[in-house]
Chain A
Amino acid sequence: QVQLVESGGGVVQPARSLRLSCAASGFTFRSYPMHWVRQAPGKGLEWVAGISYDGINEYYADSLKGRFTISRDNSKNTLYLEMNSLRGDDTAVYYCARVPSNWGQGILVTVSS
């Protein structure tokens, strides 16, 4: 069965960086676009970024203004999200997703001093 397992979250100070990972299994990872979606406490779902199956094309939410970078390693079946210049409003649960079918369990990122 499809599994998406996020890791790398935690508490980070404002202006610092953090990299999330998502280990995929149960499907041919290299054949599918992949995405990150986040959810701030008590708020709705927000699409963050997406990447083509081959990693060539990247897409981002306008609100991120170049601070986040999505990437993938198809040899490792792993998706990444590099987050820079983190702010308090980046505090959220981050989900890895194979739209429109599968979601990871989520990983909490807390930006706080």
Chain B
Amino acid sequence: DQQVKQNSPSLSVQEGRISILNCDYTNSMFDYFLWYKKYPAEGPTFLISISSIKDKNEDGRFTVFLNKSAKHLSLHIVPSQPGDSAVYFCAAWNNDMRFGAGTRLTVKP
């Protein structure tokens, strides 16, 4: 039962350009959506979140957009930096947390 899907296993972008990571979900009851970043040999680290009643949340270089009608959210990173290279997980909350399988972002210098 995969209620949260990240259909792109990997993404490669040039330093300074925009990175767009996508996430789709099936359960319209999710209250909150979160993005986590994970480096090898470390646990996931919280990046940014958005409530289901909003459509955009911005924090520095990171912006999350939520399209409830399409059951889709995206994370924009502008400008992308080599240190952003990591696996990014989309997660959604409704009494418990559901994670996507992750997208590996590579930012090339």
Do A and B interact with each other, yes or no?
Answer: no
